[in-house]
């Protein structure tokens, strides 16, 4: 039975895909939250008359943090897309040695 082992480069590419999937989920949750927060049908079930005016941009609330994480997910997704080419062409052994020197 032949054993197959993944190289370091293939492991990095798979981790890169995993990061892309999680960042897409983050952005999806943020978009869903925007629809829920700004939907007029949801606003009619609230006690406030002017729901959109009472929705203040406060980053310390849970919804503000989720929106901030969605923006971070967009940045991470584009970083993942641009790093695919680098992973294929980088000298992994030299990069790891360089990181050891930095630390």
Give the pair of three-digit tokens for residue 82.
């641009």
Higher pLDDT, 97 or 16: 16
Q: Which of 33, 101, 96, 102 lies closest to 69, judged by CA?
A: 33
75-84: long-range contacts (C-beta < 8 A, 24 or more apart)?
76/19, 76/23, 76/26, 77/20, 77/23, 77/24, 77/27, 80/16, 80/19, 80/20, 80/23, 81/20, 83/16, 84/13, 84/16
Q: What is the pLDDT of residues 72-99, one digit of tens each?
A: 999 999 988 888 888 778 777 777 777 7
Is pLDDT of 70 > 80? yes
Residue range 27-50: average pLDDT?
A: 73
Tokens 């925007």 identify what position? Answer: 34
Q: What is the greatest pairwise CA distance in the chain?
A: 70
Q: What is the pLDDT of residues 43-66, one digit of tens each?
A: 555 555 565 555 565 556 787 888
Higher pLDDT, 35 or 24: 24
């Amino acid at each position: 039975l032949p054993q197959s082992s993944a190289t370091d480069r293939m492991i990095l590419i798979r981790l890169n895909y995993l990061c892309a999937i999680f960042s897409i989920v983050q952005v999806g949750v943020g978009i869903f939250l925007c629809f829920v927060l700004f939907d007029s049908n949801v606003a009619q079930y609230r006690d406030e008359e002017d729901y959109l005016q009472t929705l203040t941009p406060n980053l310390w609330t849970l919804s503000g943090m989720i929106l901030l994480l969605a923006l971070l997910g967009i940045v991470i997704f584009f970083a993942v897309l641009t790093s695919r080419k680098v992973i294929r062409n980088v000298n992994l052994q030299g990069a790891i040695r360089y990181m050891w020197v930095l630390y």
